[in-house]
Amino acid sequence: MKGITSWGYRPYRPAHRLKEALAPFVVRIAPYEDRIAIEWLDNGAPDTAHILHWRVKGVDRPYAQVKADMGGELPLTLELTGLAPDTDYEFFVERADGSARSALRLARTGAVPAAPDGTMGSIVNYLHPEDEVYAFSGRSLCSPSFVKLDSGAILASMDVFAGKAPQNLVLVYRSDDGGQTWRYITDVFPCYWATLFTHKGRLYLQACSTEYGDILIGESKDEGATWSKPVRLFVGSSSHLDAGWQRTPMPILQHNGRLWVSVDYGAWALGGHWVGALSIDENADLLDSENWTCTELIAYDPAWPGAPTGKSSGLLEGSMVVNRQGQLLNIMRIGLIGATPDHGVAVALEANASLPEKALAFHGFISLPSGSNSKTHIVYDAVSDLYVAVGNICVNPETPGQRNVLALQYSLDLYQWKVASLLLDYREENPRDVGFQYIYFIFDGDDLLYLSRTSLNGARNFHDANYSVMHRVKDFRKLLK
């Protein structure tokens, strides 16, 4: 075993299980109402025939078999059809000669998340809550991020999460048809809370090494297929018991000659988080840690003018934007479960664009329908000259933290927001079980594309998602009245 030369693996396996990377390995699962699409690699014998063995989960009967004769370096794809809806299946891939097989994988059939008009999303990837193949990192798919490249390809990433688990693996997928279909690209390890972005024609990934770990950045010169060794920018604790870095996927903002992105620091075990902003000169080498700065960190102060009354869990997960007056703001989510009001409020902090290490300053509270209790993604749209946001809104006063209703919102000035459209409305489903959350979106011509961390069809709970799903909102600006 030689030392590492990159950040990417196809696939990543722990050192004591490296042989698994040379056997058939399932890298993508996409279950629909009556079918399951499955992709796998076989680095040890890419050109050999394979057999997919499958059956209903837990049923004591022989596996049905489907033979796949295709081969090559790209992931092999096969689709099981004619399946029963709302049913758990188990399957594994084996070489036709019986020399090696994959781990047993799981999937549950079910209806794909759909907008109120019936438009279905596109499944990027799926992970059954009882599937153990990524248990060294977690058991659910979280932290969606994606980017459109100059070639037209779209890359999507997600990490593998479980509470108090290592949380150190990111999976990357690619679409060459606008998000209609997806294929596996690579694993990135150690990596968590990753943001894919481009700058001056180059593709980067900025992330943490793990929950509350180090902040890392790396570059890909082949559209995400391989990644440079990561550069460590700031050091964290790498423990859920002590303070460290957190940076949910957020867009990188270019302003005043610098790149800016929100960042959090702390731990729930210590009671919450401080917040700040990372930045770098837009002409500097992004892979040189000395070029990066972080503002001094501040925490939520319940004495700020206009603050909600009662207990708050504090600030998290901000969007960096510039207001009409040219001020650089970080619009933060605020936890308000148990406070008054208990939803619909965000906090604006102001950064000093000329003094990038100066602490953020309180700017004001904002009436934002999705501003509390979950992440909101906010971007200025130059075409419409409006600020656009996507996040969860509360439609039932008894469940202020619900994440089963997702809304497109807009504002003229960043301070007053309106709901333009409900993108996903599953209010009839139990909010403890269903969630569409941590949205990351991009503009694609006249359309808005968003990636959702989705809990549906038997997820462990609303928070621990089993899907990563992309949705396309066509002609979205027509919804912004």
Are 205 and 217 contacting, i.e. CB atoms less than 8 angstroms apart?
yes
CA 46 to chain centre: 30
Mean pLDDT, residues 113-123: 91
* Predicted confidence (pLDDT) at residue 4 exceeds the cutoff of 80: yes
Burial (0-12, 13-18, 19+ Cβ within 10 Å), 28: buried
Contacts of 21 (CB under 8 A, 6+ apart): 9, 10, 11, 12, 13, 43
Q: Quote the pTM value.
A: 0.96
In angstroms, the CA 153 to CA 393 distance is 31
Q: What is the pLDDT of residues 430-447, one digit of tens each?
A: 999 999 999 999 999 999
> Within 13 Å and on the Cβ side, how many CA atoms surround 32?
15
For residue 406, what are the CA distances in angstroms to 28, 87, 387?
26, 27, 17
The hierarchical CATH code for the domain 8-108 is: 2.60.40.10
pLDDT value for 73: 53
* Sequence ranges of the domains in the chain: 8-108, 122-479
DSSP three-state, residue 102: coil
pLDDT value for 2: 83
* Predicted confidence (pLDDT) at residue 72 exceeds the cutoff of 70: no
In angstroms, the CA 391 to CA 17 distance is 39
What six digits make up the tokens of 332?
A: 């933060």
Q: What is the pLDDT of residues 131-157, one digit of tens each?
A: 999 999 999 999 999 999 999 999 999
CATH of 122-479, one of 3.20.80.10, 2.120.10.10, 3.30.10.20, 2.40.128.260: 2.120.10.10
DSSP three-state, residue 84: coil
Q: In CATH terms, are 8-108 and 122-479 the same topology?
A: no
Mean pLDDT, residues 181-196: 97
For residue 78, what are the CA distances in angstroms to 62, 84, 214, 278, 299?
20, 17, 38, 43, 50
Q: What is the pLDDT of residues 293-332, one digit of tens each?
A: 999 999 999 999 999 999 999 999 999 999 999 999 999 9
Contacts of 38 (CB under 8 A, 6+ apart): 26, 28, 29, 30, 52, 77, 78, 79, 80, 91, 93, 105
Provide the mean pLDDT of the chain: 95
Q: Which residues pair with 336 in a beta bridge?
A: none
* Predicted confidence (pLDDT) at residue 14 exceeds the cutoff of 90: yes
* Predicted confidence (pLDDT) at residue 429 exceeds the cutoff of 70: yes
Contacts of 461 (CB under 8 A, 6+ apart): 432, 433, 455
Q: What is the pLDDT of residues 241-275, one digit of tens each?
A: 899 999 899 999 999 999 999 999 999 999 999 99
Q: What is the pLDDT of residues 455-469, one digit of tens each?
A: 999 999 999 999 999
Q: What is the pLDDT of residues 83-106, one digit of tens each?
A: 999 999 999 999 999 999 999 999
Q: Which of 334, 330, 332 is nearest to 294 (CA)?
A: 330
Are 76 and 39 contacting, i.e. CB atoms less than 8 angstroms apart?
yes
Q: What is the pLDDT of residues 272-293, one digit of tens each?
A: 999 999 999 999 999 999 999 9
Radius of gyration from C-alpha coordinates of the chain: 22
Phi (first) and psi of residue 287, to 5 degrees:
-95, 10
Q: Which residues pair with 206 in a beta bridge?
A: 195, 217
DSSP-assigned states of every residue in 313-363: -EEEEEEEEE-TTS-EEEEEEEE-TTSBS-SSEEEEEEE-TT-TTSPPEEE
pLDDT value for 125: 98
Q: What is the pLDDT of residues 326-364, one digit of tens each?
A: 999 999 999 999 999 999 999 999 999 999 999 999 999
Q: What is the pLDDT of residues 364-398, one digit of tens each?
A: 999 999 999 999 999 999 999 999 999 999 999 99
Contacts of 308 (CB under 8 A, 6+ apart): 334, 336, 339, 340, 341, 342, 345, 365
Centre a 10 Å sphere on the Cβ of residue 398 and count the other Cβ atoms it contains: 7
Centre a 10 Å sphere on the Cβ of residue 317 and count the other Cβ atoms it contains: 23
Residue given tokens 């604790």 in the structure block: 237
